[in-house]
Amino acid sequence: MSPADGHEQALPADDDPAAAAFANLAKLSRSDIDPRKIRPQPKISKQTDQPRKRRRWSGAGPSVRDPKPIGDIFTQISRTQGWAADLQRGRVLSEWASIVGQDVAAKTTPTSLQDGNLVVHAASTSWATQLNLMKRLLHQRIDEKVGPNVVRTITIRGPAAPSWKKGPRSVRGRGPRDTYG
């Protein structure tokens, strides 16, 4: 394939590296294909997913410049920043009424969730006893609504009795006896 054979050696354009690489391959394989006749792929813009020579707006089809739903953006940010577990724990406390129902939520209050231990305060001792019997059901509902393994244990506390202890130093004993009578 020399010019003496009657074939011109086709040289690729200097600005197209793909055509130059193809010309080298054609030259090595002794092919008669002219690299200038092969159409290079259009370059893609960084702003859109359309070729550079076309318009700059995205058009009717999907594009990288299309607006994204705000929920998808927040989900992506929470995953990349490592906030997903904290958000799930916060959902247990903020969505308590939808997890357990309005009747139970009216008489109970979740106070803390640390290291998988959920502490719930009940309005009366009877509600505390009822919640202790419903622990398995509460675990199932939390796993369904929020996600598995967010809450490992549930501690139910009833109403606190009044404390007679005043200050850091106090005397052991049964407390005041003559207050009520």
Q: Write the DSSP string, 79-115.
A: HHHT-HHHHHHHHHHHTHHHHH-HHHHHHEEEEEEET
Quick check: 8 pLDDT over 60?
A: no
* Strands in the chain per DSSP E: 108-114, 117-122, 153-157
Structural domain contains residue 63: no
Structural domain contains residue 129: yes
In this structure, of 32-41, 59-68, 144-153, the range with the lowest mean pLDDT score is 32-41
CATH of the domain at 112: 3.30.300.180
- Per DSSP, the three-state class of 52 is coil
Q: Quote the Cα angle for 24-53-20, to 5°.
A: 5
Structural domain contains residue 79: no
The proportion of the chain whose per-residue pLDDT surpasses 90, expressed as a percent, equals: 33
Q: Please state whether the predicted TM-score (pTM) of the whole model is above 0.85.
A: no
What's the rounded Cα separation, in Å, for the pair 107 and 131?
A: 10
Quick check: 29 pLDDT over 80?
A: no
- What is the number of structural domains in the chain? 1
Which tops the pLDDT comparison, 25 or 68?
A: 68
What's the mean per-residue pLDDT of the chain? 77
What's the rounded Cα separation, in Å, for the pair 134 and 116?
A: 18
CA dist 98 to 61, 90, 91, 146, Å? 39, 14, 10, 11
Range(s) of the domain holding residue 108:
95-157
